[in-house]
Amino acid sequence: MKKYNVAIVGIRGVVGYVMYQILKQRNFPVNELRLVSSNPEECPAYEFDGRSIKVTELTHDCFKGINIALFSPGADVSKEYAPSAAEAGAIVIDNTSAFRMDPDIPLVVPEVNPHDIWKHKGIIANPNCSTIQMVVALKPLHDYAKIKRVVVSTYQSVSGAGRQALDEFEHQLGGDMKVEALAYQIAQNLIPQIDVATENLYTKEEMKMVNETKKIMGDDSIKVTATCVRVPVMWAHSESVNIETEKKISREKAIELLKNAPGVTVLDDLPAKQYPMPLFVAGKDDTFVGRIREDETIDKGLNMWIVADNVRKGAALNAIQIAEEIIKKDHQ
């Protein structure tokens, strides 16, 4: 089997480290693994395939010989260095917001629009975590009945705000209520703002869900409105999603479609108290869907509860699944 030289940019971050773990877990065909950071002196050595790997300093010249570059260092860093990696011959899969809405750069969820991968000119964008899990569940329903409108409220875990926020949350659970990483104390609290406010008084996170959903689904006619909330949970985002479709979908048909969809696990038995929860979804690869029921206020409406590990499926795994689609072509 052909092997690939892979770089991870942002190894010190939550997502970068999970990318490193998933490459090992999924036996990705790695020849050389190059771990990259802007502060390599602060990084330990990492083990991969029985070898000790020292972290490489991030420079414009550090991508020579790399085939696939997995980026998760922050949008400004990606904007500066991802083009250099692409110019060096790597296919860049970028997890930041830097390139997502660039019309010349594909925005990909492999279960939804894998065909868009091949439109790339060296860079492929990984969508926002909350968008990824939603469109994985929406795709089979849209293909069957065409979704007209989506109303989504998110319950987003602290890990989505990064390592400092996670550490701060842990300290607050232990009684240290110092607030630095987030705008407010998150322990015993909900914060109904993720990212900055935009002119329309939605947040940037909410508008990501609106715009990215349309791009990934390839349908600008889908109307999306979102409210994004940070909740005191370590791992895994949850979403309450209401959809209106052109063609009616019964609960039974929705379950059938979702059970047959790639990357989806249906967990739906309300009388038996069976439904997705962050506690049990954290660390899993799939997007979990439950509480599926028809909206009794409209003729063609459906409610769902969607939960996925935001760092895993919502970031690191999605990027590596894109890479796996790329290398499939070499092995056909």
Active site residues per annotation: 129, 237
Strands (E), the chain: 4-9, 30-37, 46-48, 51-53, 56-57, 68-71, 91-94, 123-125, 147-156, 223-230, 237-245, 264-266, 287-294, 301-308
Which of the 8 DSSP states describes residue 103?
T
Token pair belonging to 295: 């909206």
Q: With CA atoms as reference, report the closest residue to 156 among 235, 264, 213.
A: 235
Return the structure tokens found at 174. 């232990």
169 three-state secondary structure: helix
Q: Token pair of 233, please?
A: 């949970």
Query: Could you tell me how far CA 103 lies from the centroid of its own chain?
Result: 20
Cα–Cα dist 253/256, whole Å:
5
The secondary structure of 219-249, three-state, reads CCCCEEEEEEEECCCCCCEEEEEEEEECCCC
Distance, in Å, from the CA atom of 301 to the CA atom of 237, rounded to the nearest integer, reads 23
281: left (phi over 0), alpha (psi -120 to 50) or beta: alpha
As given in the structure block, the two tokens for residue 22 are 């998933």
